[in-house]
Amino acid sequence: MMFESLLSALLVVFSWPNLSFLLAGAAFGFFVGVIPGLGGAVALALLIPLSFNLDVYPAVILLIAAMGGVEFGGAISAILFNAPGGPTNLATALDGYPATKAGRAGEAIGAAAMACVFGALFGVGVVIAIMPVMRATVLAFGPPELFWLAIFGLTLLAAVAGRSLLLGLLVASFGFLLSFIGLNPVTGGYRFTFGNTILWDGLPLVAMVLGIFAVAELMHVAVHRATIAEQDVTSGTRGVGRGIVFCLRRWALCVRSSIIGVLIGAIPGIGGSVSVFVAYAHAKKTSKSPETFGTGNLEGVVAPESNNDAKDGGSLIPLFGLGIPGSVSTAVLLGGLTIHGLNVGPRFLSDHLDIAYLIVIGLALSNIIVAGLGLSIVGLLTRLTKVPIGGLAPVLITLCLFGAYSLRFEIYDLMLTAVFGLIGYLMINADLPRVPLILALILAPIAEKNLHISMQISQWDPSILIMRPISALLVIFIAWILLVPPVWKYVRKRRAAARRQIVDGA
């Protein structure tokens, strides 16, 4: 039954005109992803009205192809301009953009393209393999586990994002405070709005991401450098080949990062922002040269990109098994499927197995298509990094402001982007990590909501947070991250001091 449905889905995808919808959707998703701040949810939302008059098969192919194409497009803008296409591309910028400044943009894009294809194929393979047992997998995570997973992701990032764990935690704490502005999702009250209705919805994430990263970096480059690339740019084709070979040689890292992506992507409500930073932290911890992370180490590109595309496969697990979207993009996809009369839920795999296979195949093929598309224009893209920044910065800042304004059409979002651009510029000059601030804004609402739900379930008995096995394991991991590195650093200092005393005494 499953093999027949898989074969049927393959024949549908490669038949005409369905193949044209696959190509068009992937290309559309790629170019939307390149625009900072838009991301997969926006690409799908724009395409849903266009799919109204299509039959079910071409409509589903068009939507899933766009969803698959967005992530690599966002990686391109993150690598070249430090302007991530969405929150899931933030980790890629940490080493992708320094590689661009070193003249190795082609290598970074080649490594990212190969990692995207690897992650997508891995994620799709896992989804196909575990379809019979996916409901039990999703139900293993309840509110207590989701609360600790959000705290774990933020703690892990704070530990690896900057030069100091304490600085990372302080910046993350500031992000937590900013997340409390607006409507309380549990009580319905308003916090820190100061009577201003524009703050009822809180601080818009897209505006803050574009300000903190893209606008701030462009300001920094315009002040301190003539071009984005500080050194000569490696020839496009040669650089791409090196990047692809680098990714293939790090296949074990791709596998581990993809596993992380599938596991976290399968947990509804967490999303890819946590997943990519967990993969980035894992890559840094297991690297032979962790001190080079943040300076253009391509392991810091390969890990989050393979993770990011495997995460898309993982997010389909709760969608197929329970009808619960695992990410914002799959939530919009769910709306598109519902519009076309597909009731996604526990009976989806039994009633629409062919559609399920069509989705996973379309997701895999779209990633292959956009990787080829990106590599075909890599020469043009890398040459942009040698354009004088005086002429390029206004264009890129305008593009960032357009991305911030296009979601809600509010002048307030433009002002906020500018303000946080200035804050980000000051953070760059002070050598403060910026990523924990944004990730805290993403994870704080998740942690707060699931903490309240956990307390309500247990009738305000806090032991529920540590009595379940997965929760207890996450608490142990968090304690390890916070306590072991400082203690080990202190022990090494004491040992070094003791050795110096022995040498001086001799």
Phi-psi domain of 466 (left: phi exceeds 0; alpha: psi -120 through 50; beta: other): alpha
Give the pLDDT confidence score for residue 255 in this predicted structure: 92
Contact residues for 310 (Cβ-Cβ < 8 A; gap 6+): 119, 120, 122, 123, 126, 257, 258, 259, 260, 261, 262, 265
pLDDT band at 256 (very low <50, low <70, confident <90, very high): very high
Give the pLDDT confidence score for residue 160 in this predicted structure: 63
Residue whose entry in the numeric block shows the structure tokens 């290598």: 107
Secondary structure of 220-260 in the HEC alphabet? Answer: HHHHHCCCCCCCCCCCHHHHHHHHHHHHHHCHHHHHHHHHH
The residue among 443 and 134 whose pLDDT is bigger is 443
Give the pLDDT confidence score for residue 229 in this predicted structure: 46
**Cβ–Cβ < 8 Å for 344, 319:** yes
Q: For 241-255, 327-341, 477-491, which range has the lowest pLDDT when averaged over its residues?
A: 327-341
pLDDT band at 381 (very low <50, low <70, confident <90, very high): low
Q: What is the pLDDT of residues 274-303, one digit of tens each?
A: 788 888 888 888 888 888 888 888 998 999
Structural element, H or E, at residue 182? strand 182-183
Give the pLDDT confidence score for residue 313 in this predicted structure: 83
**What residues pair up with 182 in beta bridges, in sequence order?**
191
**Cβ–Cβ < 8 Å for 138, 318:** yes
Phi-psi domain of 459 (left: phi exceeds 0; alpha: psi -120 through 50; beta: other): left
Q: What is the mean pLDDT of the chain?
A: 79
- Return the biggest CA–CA distance within the chain: 87
Give the pLDDT confidence score for residue 272 in this predicted structure: 62
Cis peptide before 49 (omega within 30 of 0): no
Q: What is the pLDDT of residues 14-69, one digit of tens each?
A: 888 889 999 998 988 888 777 765 666 667 766 776 777 888 888 888 888 888 88
For residue 132, CA distances in Å to 127, 135, 136, 320 come to 10, 8, 9, 11
Q: For 18-27, 92-101, 182-191, 389-398, which range has the lowest pLDDT when averaged over its residues?
A: 389-398
DSSP state letter for 271: -
Give the pLDDT confidence score for residue 383 in this predicted structure: 64
pLDDT exceeds 80 at position 331? no
Give the pLDDT confidence score for residue 235 in this predicted structure: 46
pLDDT band at 237 (very low <50, low <70, confident <90, very high): low
Retrieve residue 249's tokens. 């040689």
pLDDT band at 233 (very low <50, low <70, confident <90, very high): very low
465-480 average pLDDT score: 87
Mark out the alpha helices in 328-434 (DSSP H runs): 328-339, 348-351, 353-376, 378-383, 389-408, 411-429
Give CA angle at 461 (457, 466), nearest 5°: 90
For residues 163, 104, 31, 361, the Cα torsion angle rounded to the nearest 10 degrees is -90
Q: For 172-186, 264-278, 318-332, which range has the lowest pLDDT when averaged over its residues?
A: 318-332
The bridge status of strand 182-183 relative to strand 190-191 is antiparallel
**Cβ–Cβ < 8 Å for 111, 302:** yes
pLDDT band at 141 (very low <50, low <70, confident <90, very high): confident
Cut 0.85: pTM above it: no
Give the pLDDT confidence score for residue 137 in this predicted structure: 57
User: Closest by alpha carbon to 64, among 31, 27, 33, 22?
Assistant: 22
Give the pLDDT confidence score for residue 382 in this predicted structure: 62
Residue whose entry in the numeric block shows the structure tokens 């993150």: 78
- As a whole number of angstroms, the distance between CA 500 and CA 506 comes to 10
User: Closest by alpha carbon to 106, among 13, 298, 255, 235?
Assistant: 235
Mark out the alpha helices in 458-468 (DSSP H runs): 464-467
- As a whole number of angstroms, the distance between CA 302 and CA 119 comes to 10
Q: What is the pLDDT of residues 146-177, one digit of tens each?
A: 888 788 877 876 776 666 778 888 888 888 88
